[in-house]
Structure formats: C-alpha cells, structure tokens
Copies of this chain bind each other. A is one copy, B any other.
Amino acid sequence: MTSDARWVVPFRDGDRTQRSLLGGKGANLCEMTNLGLPVPPGFIVTTEACRSYRAEGGQVPGDLFRQMDEALTELEEATGRRLGDPEAPLLLAVRSGAVFSMPGMMDTVLDLGSTPVTHPGLVALGGELFAWDARRRFLEMFGKVVLGVPEEAFSQVLDRAIAEAGVKDERFLTPDQMAQVVSGFRAAIRDAGVILPEDPREQLRMAVEAVFRSWDGDRAVAYREMEGIDHDLGTAVNVQMMVFGNLNQRSASGVAFTRDPATGENVPYGDFLTAAQGEDVVAGTRLPEPLATLADDFPEAHEELVANLDRLEAHYRDMCDIEFTIEDDRLWMLQTRVGKRSALAALNIAMDLVDEGTITREEAVRRVTPVQVERLLHPRFADRKVPVLTTGLAASPGAATGKIVFSSEEARDRGRAGEQVILVRGETSPEDLEGMVASVGLLTARGGLVSHAAVVARGLGKPAVCGASALDIRLEDQTVRVGETVLHHDDVISIDGTTGKVAVGEVELVIPKDDPRLDTLLEWADQFRDIHIFANADTPDDARRALAAGAEGIGLCRTEHQFLGERLPLIRQIILSRSLEQEREALIPLEAAQRQDFEELFQVMDGKKVVIRLLDPPLHEFLPSLVDLKVKHALGTLDAEGERLLEAAVRLHEHDPMLGVRGIRLGVLRPAVYAGQVRAIIGAAVARKEAGGDPRPEIMLPLISTAHELAWGLNIVHSTAREVMDAAGVEVDYTTATMIETPRAALRAEHLAPQVDAFSFGTNDLTQLVFGLSRDDVEVTYLPSAMELDLMPIQPFATIDRNGVGVLVEMATRAGRGVNPDLVTGICGEHGGDPETIRFCHELGMTHVSASASRIKVARLAAAHAALAQSGPDASA
C-alpha cells in the first residue's frame, strides 16, 4: 500500500453502497449524514486499513495515523470541541463495524477523551457526577479492550464502592464516591502492570488497533466460522463524537423501528430510557418505556424522530430500525439499518409497500423468505422459551397439544370421538394408520425423518416429533419416562414438529390463519418462477390439500399407501399365497379397490399430471414385526394365521430392507402385482375418459439400476395398458417415468432416457446410497456428531449434497437430455421442498420439483427466488 491510500473516510464522503469498505454501520452513518439527518459527526477507519494491518502482521499502515489526525482536526472544527481540551473537550466513541453484522462479537471504546485534563470541561457540560462517570466508563472499557486488564479488576472496585455506599447500583453513588471508583480503576490498571497513556490521541490510536485485533479474537473467529463469514474481510472502525443520553433528565437513549417488527403494522415502534446511555438500554437493568410516550416527555425530539423515520423508510424503501440519543432535548441518530422482522411482519410490510407504491411485486417476492412462509403456515409454541421435556427430530411441521395415548386403536376411537390425543409410540407401522389420522400429533422414540411416522405425518399435514430417543416408553404400566420425569396415559403433552420440542402439559399455541395476502404474494411469485411445483400425494384428500396449496400436479403418488388400513388383509393374502392361482384371487379385490382410488384421484386432479409409482417397499413391511411374532410364538399365543404370518416374516426377513427386494425387484418376483396396478391405473383413466374427464397418468418404475430392468418393467406397463385400452376401446394418453434413485441409474442415464418420458430423481434414496448412510439409523446417532464436528458439508437429507449427490444428478440430467431432448426431469422426496435444493434444480433446468403438501407454498416462493437470483440482484439493493 502506498501512503496515498485512503484509510480514513469522513461520514460526509461515504454512502451505503460502500459497505465492504466502510462496514455496514459506517456505510449507513454516511448515508444518514448525507440525508441531512442529525448524525454525530465522525469518520471511518476503513476495512482496507484493517486488512493491511492483518496482512502486515499487526503493523498499522504508514499513513493511517496522519489521515486520522486530519479527520480529527476536521471533526474538531465541525463540533467546536477539541480532544483533550480542558474547556470544550471532544469525547469520542470508537466502535467496530464489520461488513456483515457480528453482534457483540467485537470491541468498543466509549468516552475516549475523558481525562484528568478535560475533567473541568466535562463538569461544565454535565456536572461532577457526569464527569466522573464518563471517566469511569472510559477507564473500564479502555482498560479491558485496549490494555487487556481482566474485567474482575474493575468489577471488584465498583462492587466494593456500591457495597460501602449501601446503594443499589452505581447510578446512586455520589460524585465523591464515583471519584473514588475512578481512582480505584486507575490503580487496577497500574496493578495489572500496563500503562495508560494520558494523551487522548495516543489512546485513540491504540483503541483503533484494539478494534482491529478484536477481529481475530476467539469469539469473533468462532462466530465467523459458524456463520460462514470470510475471515479476510476485516472490520472498519467508526470514530464519532460522543453524545450523552445520560447528560441530564432532558436526555434519553432508545431504539425505534419505522413499523412494528412483530406485525408489520405501519406505526413507529420502539422504546427508550430517560437519562441513560445506549448501553444502559441494552443492559436491561431498567425497564424502558414504549416509544409512544416519548411524545409526552420530549415532544419536539419525538416529532423530529418520526419525521426522520419516515425519511429513512422512504429512502431505504423498507422498514428500518435505528438507535437514537436525545442530549439535552436535542435528537441524534446513532445508527440505522434495514430492520429484522417476524414472518408475519415481513409479509405485511412487503404487501403494504407494494400497496403504497414504494416497491414492485418482484421486490415484495424477494423480501419474504421461504423460511418465513414456513412459519406463517403452521401452528407453533407461542413462547419460544417454553421449558422442554426433550427434543426429537422436527419430523412434520406444526404444533399440537393433547392427551397421551399409547395404542393406535385407542387413538382412533377417542380421536374420532373428538378428543385431542397425541399418539406416543416407539415407532409406527402401516397398522397404525387409522390411529395416526385421528390424533392431533405424533411422537415417536425411534426413527428418522423418513421413518414411517414422519412420512405419513407430513402426508397428513399433522405435527410429528420423531426419534425422541430419550423417551422410555413402558407399555406394561402405560407410562413414558424421560430421565426422572414420569408421564402417564392421559397426561397432557405438547409437541412442536417444526422445532422437535416436546413439553409437559398444555402449551399456548400460535395458530396462523389462512392469510389471503400470502396467497397474493405467492401468486406473484408464481409469475417469476419457471420450475413447476408438484406435490407428493397418495390419496384424493392429499391431492385436494396439495391443489389448495397451489400444486400443479402430483409428482409422486406412492401406491403402497393404498394397501394399508382395511386393505392390509388383502395384501397379506397375496404375500401368503402359495400358488399363482391364490395370488390371482387375492389380487382381484385389491385391484378393484386401487382402481377406485385412482378414479377419484384423477377426478380431483383432472387435466393435471399424476405420477404414480408402482409398489416400492418390501413385502415384509405389510406383516407384523418379526420380533413380536417370534415372542408370541415362544409364549405359545400365536394362532394358526399368526403362525403363517410368522413363517412368511421369517422367509421375507431382510438384513438391510432398504437394499432388498423392493421396487422393480418386487415387480420381477411378483409380476402379477405390477400388472394389477397398471390395470387399475389405466382402467381408472379409461373410466374417467368415458365420464368426460381428462386423466393424465404417468406410470413410474422404482429402484431401477439397469436399462434391462427398466425395459422389463415398461414391457409390463405397455402390454397391460394395451390390453385394458383394447378391451375398453378407449385410448388413454399415459406417459412413463423411471425413478433415478440408485447411483447406477444415474450413471446409466443415457441408456434409460430413451425408454421413458421422464426422470424423477429420488434424492432420499440417492443420498442414502451415495453416502452409504441410512437416514433412519444415523439421523439421531451419527449425523448430529458429524454436523457438530463439521464432517458433513451440509445436512444431506435436508439440502441436496451438491458435491456428491448433485454431481450424479447433474451427470444424469445431462446424459438423459443428450439422448432424449424432450425428457421431463424432476425431483421428488424431502428435498423437493427445500429452497437451496430448489435452487439447484432450477440451475439444472429441471422441469419440476415435487414436495409434500405442507411444503408446496414454501416451494413456490423458493422457486421464484431461485429464478430471480439467476436473473440478477434485486435492483433496489
């Protein structure tokens, strides 16, 4: 760096676009200054200076102090006060100001310039106590931050003084007592073996260096690690004239928002403390008053403040928050930025700003995040700090309160009778479905985010906390224990499936209402996105919910859900059948039932695509648990049917069911089952067509890993469809798809794509196979440790792993389109509702993503954000 470099920028020379040079706080101080708002004058030591300091191993840039001196001289002229001047002393605030907010992570020195020499001037300004108090504050901050004296050295002195004076806190000390404290602080610094320079210019230089150093402090480094902030950015330092909210009773400090950050209502919001500094407001030892009362106490300052807030919001075209100080009835603006807000406020402010003509619809869409939409959709605990019993996996969003029941039958009966019950189980199986439907929420001790309980709950739109491994459920005495706590059957608990929290007793819930403004925002969002949003929906009810949420089709209908409940005996007959004849007979009623399901589904989804996946799970999933059967067998309590089921369960038992006989493999071993499903689908479509409908089925084959498997499956599909259509004399426009969920399918995409109309990436299974990681088994064991130790780049089941899974998805998409340019591509599964994953899909030019009904709205917005991100930054930013 040459000495010509500009290390120092006065507030009047900067603006808010210079964030990376001036830091966020400094850039906005410049902006306010240039708007003519009453900002205490000052200058900024730039991030560039900090970077140079770090690069040179802790040497300040050669010209820095000269430039600071120049800026200081200018500041003295502007304020009519001088640093170190006994009569009109200038006091300075020296604050860090990084590019990205790092609240509380770095150091600040206030009241710099309060020295024995300037004491008379300070007394003249605010009296004896004020003067000694400023000295005290300075010595403590400078001592700690710049000289490295331990905090205890100061707190001991102060505590002793307070105790000796017999008062509540330091505000009630007399000037003499405060003078004693100052003298004690000076002794503490001396005793620490460090030297306090008396020259305030020297102090200023040291304070600036100390702020530079604090960038590399342990806490700051750890915070940046956590937030992913580049360590090389460095911090700016804001040097500004002190103003005193604690000067007298005509002084105050406060914070304000241009609108209500909780609701978005267009009224200024905030609070303040009379006769206090900003740090006193933050410390929270005194209860602040609401901003509205400022009009009573400081009518002129209030009027000016409200006008400034209007001015700032119009200028920033968004809700802002500010810090202000009133010194002897004069208003000073200390900070501003675009304010943080609740989800509801984000929505309302964006919509209001559009209504007010301040921002465009595109800007409104950009300003609401998918996470905020998620919050707007589901009930949640009203109090974030409610004491929790235990925390499990956030398996299905929403919160609920209800009585504990341990059996699905009881849940079914009492739930249908209108009682609010929460089903608490070790894990769930298909047999539990009716009980799950009738409960207000689900809580399981085992299983991950793709466990049966979690998947079904999301499909039903019901809150669920899964894998709460601290739960010790004892059916023998109908209790559930967590450590020392024992809960009984019928005790009330509350669960929050958005956070995974479980609480004892009834917890107050926030229940969002359907918000037409959200629907309007999402309709706008739909105009910006170019990726379709489909739903994972298995039943007509699921489909209705998905449509209501704005789904454009069904991207995944899992047919196994048609085999549960009252149909379970039918599929068990198929499993137990000992001849093709028996199998055929058992298939007849099942096929008829499925056909009815599909007819209703096509009716609900008339004119929209419905992607139906043929049976995927291993057959033993339709049997009772092998352990239960074996135990009953040993106890001699199994009937003849039970013994047959046991025999089948033993025969079908698998070491790793995820990798066993499922998907197309099941089809190969039980071709009649697949053929029956195709007959039901095409038969239903024929019936809908005859009734004047517009059914659009797509038949999808699961767990393909070779081109020949796909060809084999498609042959069954096409030949069966042909038979049905020929028999009916009606043609149906059906299409076909293959799941890409094994790495091999992705690697062989070139040979799969010519055979089908569509690829659907099953990123749940693909992630499990790429990592060799069973979500069910590691989500509550290995993954938490791995995330903590930073061994995983991301939570790969929440967000697509671009570096591994994503590489295969990209290879397959490219290879598939290379041989079949019309190939439809999409993803289904949990990732389909994740914003970052949607962005990835958008970048790959996928046709659609398919998400569970409860995430459709989130996905619509995320898709718009993905498209807007690609089209360039927000013009208003």
Q: How many residues of A contact B (CB 8 A)?
A: 55
Q: Beyond A656-B658, A782-B661, is A789–B712 a contact (Cβ under 8 Å)?
A: yes
Q: Is B782 touching A665 in the complex (CB atoms < 8 A)?
A: yes
Q: Beyond A705-B804, A748-B804, is A776–B627 a contact (Cβ under 8 Å)?
A: no
Determine how close the nearest CB of chain B comes to the CB of A321; give it in whole angstroms.
38
A634 within 8 A of B: yes
Neighbouring B residues of A768 by C-beta, 8 Å = 659
Name A residues whose Cβ lies closer than 8 Å to a Cβ of B. 626-627, 630-631, 634-635, 654-661, 665, 668-669, 703, 705-706, 708-709, 712, 741-744, 747-748, 765, 768-774, 776-778, 781-782, 785-786, 789-793, 801, 803-805, 807-808
Neighbouring B residues of A705 by C-beta, 8 Å = 770-773, 804
11 A-B residue pairs with Cβ-Cβ distance under 8 Å, sorted by A, are A627-B627, A656-B657, A656-B776, A660-B777, A668-B782, A668-B786, A705-B770, A708-B793, A747-B804, A747-B808, A765-B772
Q: Is B655 touching A655 in the complex (CB atoms < 8 A)?
A: no
Q: Is B656 touching A741 in the complex (CB atoms < 8 A)?
A: no
Neighbouring B residues of A777 by C-beta, 8 Å = 654-657, 659-661
Q: Is A770 touching B742 in the complex (CB atoms < 8 A)?
A: yes
Q: Is A658 touching B655 in the complex (CB atoms < 8 A)?
A: yes
Q: Beyond A747-B807, A804-B743, is A772–B774 a contact (Cβ under 8 Å)?
A: no
Q: Is B656 touching A774 in the complex (CB atoms < 8 A)?
A: yes
A801 to B743 Cα, complex, angstroms: 13
Q: Is B774 touching A660 in the complex (CB atoms < 8 A)?
A: yes
**Interface hub of A659, A771, A804 (most chain B Cβ within 10 A):** A659
A706 to B660 Cα, complex, angstroms: 26
Interface of A is mostly: helix
Neighbouring B residues of A703 by C-beta, 8 Å = 772
Neighbouring B residues of A743 by C-beta, 8 Å = 743, 769-770, 772, 804, 808
Neighbouring B residues of A661 by C-beta, 8 Å = 777-778, 781-782
Q: Beyond A654-B774, A772-B769, A804-B744, is A791–B709 a contact (Cβ under 8 Å)?
A: yes
Q: 8 closest Cβ contacts across the A-B interface? A: A659-B774, A660-B777, A744-B804, A742-B772, A656-B774, A665-B782, A656-B656, A654-B777
Q: Which of B659, B712, B793, B808 contacts A706 (CB 8 A)?
A: B793
**Interface hub of A660, A669, A748, A768 (most chain B Cβ within 10 A):** A660
A770 to B630 Cα, complex, angstroms: 34
Q: Which of B630, B654, B765 contacts A627 (CB 8 A)?
A: B630
Q: Is A708 touching B660 in the complex (CB atoms < 8 A)?
A: no
Neighbouring B residues of A657 by C-beta, 8 Å = 655-656, 777
Neighbouring B residues of A804 by C-beta, 8 Å = 705, 743-744, 747-748
Q: Is B747 touching A803 in the complex (CB atoms < 8 A)?
A: yes
**Interface hub of A744, A747, A801, A805 (most chain B Cβ within 10 A):** A744
Neighbouring B residues of A634 by C-beta, 8 Å = 631, 634-635
Neighbouring B residues of A807 by C-beta, 8 Å = 747
A782 to B670 Cα, complex, angstroms: 11
A770 to B808 Cα, complex, angstroms: 11
Q: Is B706 touching A774 in the complex (CB atoms < 8 A)?
A: no
Q: Which of B706, B744, B791 contacts A791 (CB 8 A)?
A: B706
Q: Beyond A660-B777, A773-B659, is A669–B785 a contact (Cβ under 8 Å)?
A: yes
A792 to B709 Cα, complex, angstroms: 8
Determine how close the nearest CB of chain B comes to the CB of A633; give it in whole angstroms.
8
